[in-house]
Amino acid sequence: MSASEQNNLSEIIEEQLPGDIFHFIQHAGDTANSLQQRIYLVGGVVRDLLLERINLDIDLVVEGDAIKLAQAINSEGRAQLVTHPRFGTAKLKWGHRSVDFATARAESYAHPGALPTIHPGTINDDLKRRDFAINAMAVELNPRHFGELIDPFDGCGDLNRQHIRVLHEKSFVDDATRIWRALRYEQRLDFTIEPATRLLLKRDIVYLKTISGDRIRHELELVLREEQPEKALCRAFELDVLTTLHPALKGDSWLIEAFKAARVRCLPDLPHPDFYLALLCYRLTANHLEQLIQYLRPAKTTTQVLQDTIAIKEKTKELKSRRLAPSEVYEILNGYHPVAYAVNAIAAGASAADYIELYLNVLRNVKPALTGEALKKLGVKQGPRIKEVLSKLRHARLDGKITTKKQEEEWVAKRHSS
């Protein structure tokens, strides 16, 4: 890209952004101008415009009052407006589109790992607080300067060099979650963490201990939403970052193949992050898993997926030990989260996987023809006895001992007690 193209991105913006988004940001620039404010397109979307990558996460920074500007843009009330006066931010939503507004700010950190203290600032202050040079660029949207690139930290140079570089040597000390972001961007973009930044990363891994498990979990979830999360996880293992989650975690060839198998299994969709996380945790013991859960504090559903995955893993020892009747397979495998089955079908080995697929595709769908109400009419006592008889009928069906409703009725007539 020529220097002139780098200095003004107006043509690139018009070419790469959908028409409605382009017209929106033009209107935002006109409205800001009328209010004597300045507005900028910032962050990842600027980076991806320069890389010719699709990114419709539109973030706008306002030198002035972001909420007042968003309200003025939405004066006719055609979009849904959500404001957060405490933070000076707003979001406009319409259809399947959304745009975030933030008042330009500066940040300071009371101590390593602390959430930042926020002060009003300029666009340069706002860019200075960013994580990496490639994310610290802005494009002005006011009419007289529409498309002009602001690049105080040579982010364009880093894009050309394919580098991930922090803005100052205390970047990871101030916010160690940037370590995970560095790995994520490096692998997503097929870049390299710049040598001095890599030294700082290695030096400052210890500061990950200053970050709450909730914030670390959020960064891990972002990794697991990447197209190929195993790349960042393996890089994290190589740089001794992954083991800060738990010393027993590994990013290796086994994980690479397991994640690839997960994507094949979930086609045409990508696996849910819980699927990937359960595969990452598959080789942990139950005790190690509980330690990780206590640290990350995942959602209740995620916790269930992880615990059920390890529970099924333990039970697969029975699946491998001898030939089992279908009813035995059902009893061993019944009652777990669907994702936990899929994880074990990939990770448990061929013989156990065959039983898991049999359960998923056949056995779990087998039910007695008779219902609880029908059993009552046949004289079975209400209460636990109903559940017991239904279970025995299911087992008989599973093992082929009963195949029709009439046979079920005959079986009940011979065995139930009023």
pLDDT of 398: 92
Amino acid at 380: V
pLDDT of 109: 67
Distance CA(8)–CA(14), nearest Å, equals 12
- Per-residue confidence in pLDDT tens, the chain, 418 aa: 444 445 889 999 999 999 999 999 999 999 999 999 999 999 999 999 999 999 999 999 999 999 999 999 998 778 899 999 988 899 999 989 999 999 998 877 667 766 766 778 899 999 999 999 999 999 999 999 999 999 999 999 999 999 999 999 999 999 999 999 999 999 999 999 999 999 999 999 999 999 999 999 999 999 999 999 999 999 999 999 999 999 999 999 999 999 999 999 999 999 999 999 999 999 999 999 999 999 999 999 999 999 999 999 998 888 777 788 999 999 999 999 999 999 999 999 888 898 999 999 999 999 999 888 888 888 888 888 888 888 999 999 999 998 999 998 888 888 765 4
Residue the block writes with tokens 């209107």:
27
pLDDT of 322: 75
* Beta-bridge partners for 83: 90
Burial degree of 344 (CB within 10 A; 0-12, 13-18, 19+)? buried
The structure tokens listed for 200 are: 């700082």
Distance CA(38)–CA(30), nearest Å, equals 10
Q: What is the pTM assigned to this prediction? A: 0.87
Fold of 1-156: Beta Polymerase; domain 2 (3.30.460)
* Beta-bridge partners for 101: 60, 90
pLDDT of 28: 95
On whether the CB atoms of residues 382 and 376 are closer than 8 A, the answer is yes
Those residues whose C-beta lies under 8 Å from the C-beta of residue 153, and which sit 6 or more positions away, are: 127, 133, 136, 167
pLDDT of 124: 94
The structure tokens listed for 354 are: 């065959």
